Structure 1
Amino acid sequence: MSESDVSAIISEVEAQEAELVLPSFTHDQAWRLGSLLVELAVERDLPVTIDIRKGTQQVFHAARPGTTPDNDSWVQRKVAVVYRFGASSYLVGLRAKAKGTDFNATHGLPFQEYSAHGGAFPVRVTDVGIVGVVTVSGLAQQDDHALVVEALRELVEAQPLV
């Protein structure tokens, strides 16, 4: 992937993060988002683990056939990146790649605790900020990220503006 490709993807992901902001985020909305992700995964026969956090509470978790406990480890490490850096795990990893640096080495973070690979996306609420994280693990990182964006976009579009 060329530098210009990475720059273009960074711009696209930054735009997604600016666009996908909710007026609120309740437990019921988390359930709807998780259920939507499961529906998409079932329709496409995707081997993914889906996880949604509201604050530090895990409010939704599902694992499809083809996943293993290792996917849960990936989820946890991606979530840690979102909460620490305030951006999607994919964006954080792309920014490191654009600088030609190793994310974990640059920040002195152990790989077994932090993973800047795509799939964890911050749940932002207007005038509040990050209130949770939605994560998918099991596909290539850009596909994990894209699945989350697709479902989150549908949830955002379905919510009335407040």
Structure 2
Amino acid sequence: MPSDGELAADALNEESILRFPSFKMEDAVTLGMNLRKRFRASMRHAKGKGCVISIQTMQGATMFACAVGEGSDVSLDSWWHVEGMIKVVRRTGHSTFYIEKGAAAIGKPADQLGLPFPEYRLDGGAFPIWLQNSSVGPIGIIAIYSGSSVEDHHLIISTLRSYFSKMSASDRGSVAATDR
């Protein structure tokens, strides 16, 4: 099993690779619906778990939001978790998974990193939306909360990888069509 330091390094690498050429409302809705679809197909959903999903700009404008399931998994508390995770990304520019594993690797609790609980939350998955060739900072945040940092983070990552793969295939198709 990888160490917390290795997991943090992997998360940081994902942040550097999974970047958008541009990001529009259409991208947010497509990603949000793909996250929803993938969660509904997951074992967690099959076992009766729910989740909340939010995609926001760094300034706080909601681009996509939905709940999947019923009951305590999609309660107001779940939305508070999401807001706390989004605050972590706004504050640090990094995913909650990276911060969680990085803090564990150096043996420091989040509050010693200036992320006091409960205002800032590391449980669940929140991931920065970066544009390619940008070093200034992320432009938005993708967040999902279902109660599992690992599973929520991996759901975002697998959805982004699939999205970029389809985007790349689409670009190749349009280039091939224009080359004819």
Change (3 A) 1:91 1:47: same
Larger Rg: 2
The secondary structure found in structure 2 opposite 1:133 is: strand
What is the CA deviation profile of residues 98-126 of structure 1, one whole-angstrom value per residue up to 9, with x for unaligned ones? 1111111x134431211123400001111
Unmatched segments (≥5 aa) in structure 2: 172-180
Structure richer in strand, relative to its length: 1
What is the identity, as a one-letter code, of the residue corresponding to 2:93? G
1:18 maps to which residue? 16
Q: Following the alignment from structure 1 to structure 2, what is the Cα–Cα distance between the partners of residues 109 and 32?
A: 31
1:40 maps to which residue? 38
1:81 maps to which residue? 88
2:154 maps to which residue? 146
2:110 maps to which residue? 103
Number of corresponding residues? 158
**Of residues 43, 65, 68 in structure 2, which corresponds to 1:61?**
65
Please tell me the root mean square deviation across aligned C-alpha atoms, in Å.
1.7
What is the identity, as a one-letter code, of the residue corresponding to 1:125? L
Q: Following the alignment from structure 2 to structure 1, what is the Cα–Cα distance between the partners of residues 92 and 14?
A: 16
Q: Following the alignment from structure 2 to structure 1, what is the Cα–Cα distance between the partners of residues 15 and 161?
A: 10
What is the identity, as a one-letter code, of the residue corresponding to 2:102? R
Using the size of structure 1 for normalisation, the TM-score is 0.89
Unmatched segments (≥5 aa) in structure 1: none
Using the size of structure 2 for normalisation, the TM-score is 0.81
**Of residues 13, 25, 48 in structure 2, which corresponds to 1:27?**
25
What is the identity, as a one-letter code, of the residue corresponding to 1:57? A
Identity among equivalent pairs (%): 27
Q: CA deviation at 1:127?
A: 2.7
